[in-house]
């Protein structure tokens, strides 16, 4: 127990010395506002946070997310026929694809897929 305490103190001391030496010997950089600020999709983070945001961009992002989840649900359809009956699989697959097609038609009919209107 005593040896463990001594070893941990030695490790703490060596790491502290290395950190202090690194801080003293490192080249000091001049703080630049642009380099020290986070990059946020082209927006200036130091200005007002109430900038107008394109709702069309948000809608396209949501549609992409929905289609991404749909792909994750469609991919296992290729493995399922080997484990279940073909009639249940085909009925479920046709119903799922029909629902997706109706949803796509609704989005197209509402004009959600047009970037510039």
Q: Which pLDDT score, from 0 to 100, does residue 19 have?
A: 92
Q: What is the pTM of this model?
A: 0.47
Residue 21 lies in a domain: no
Residue pair 73/96 in contact (Cβ under 8 Å)? The answer is: yes
Q: Which pLDDT score, from 0 to 100, does residue 44 have?
A: 58
Q: Which residues of 30-54 are buried (b: 16+ CB within 10 A; e: fewer)?
A: eeeeeeeeeeeeeeeeeeeeeeeee
Residue 35 lies in a domain: no
Residue 36 lies in a domain: no
Residue 19 lies in a domain: no
Residue 13 lies in a domain: no
Q: Which pLDDT score, from 0 to 100, does residue 80 have?
A: 81
H or E element, residue 91: helix 86-110
Task: Give residue 74's domain range.
Answer: 56-117
Q: What is the mean pLDDT of each run of 10 residues along the chain (117 residues)?
A: 91 95 76 63 60 74 84 84 84 89 87 71
Contacts of 100 (CB under 8 A, 6+ apart): 70
Instruction: Give the Cβ contact number of residue 79 at 10 Å.
Output: 8
H or E element, residue 71: helix 55-74
Q: Which pLDDT score, from 0 to 100, does residue 31 have?
A: 65
Rounded distance between C-alpha atoms, residue 85 and residue 65, angstroms: 31
Name the domain count of the chain.
Answer: 1
Residue 66 lies in a domain: yes
């Amino acid at each position: 127990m005593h040896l463990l305490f001594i070893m941990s103190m030695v490790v703490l001391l060596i790491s502290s010395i290395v950190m202090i030496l690194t801080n003293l010997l490192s080249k000091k950089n001049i703080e630049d506002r642009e380099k020290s600020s986070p990059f946020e999709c082209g927006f200036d983070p130091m200005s007002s946070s109430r900038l107008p945001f394109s709702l069309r961009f948000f809608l396209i992002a949501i549609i992409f997310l929905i289609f991404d989840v749909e792909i994750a649900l469609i991919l296992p359809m290729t493995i399922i026929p080997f484990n279940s009956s073909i009639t249940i699989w085909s009925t479920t697959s046709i119903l799922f694809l029909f629902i997706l097609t109706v949803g796509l038609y609704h989005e197209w009919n509402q004009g959600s897929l047009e970037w510039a209107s």
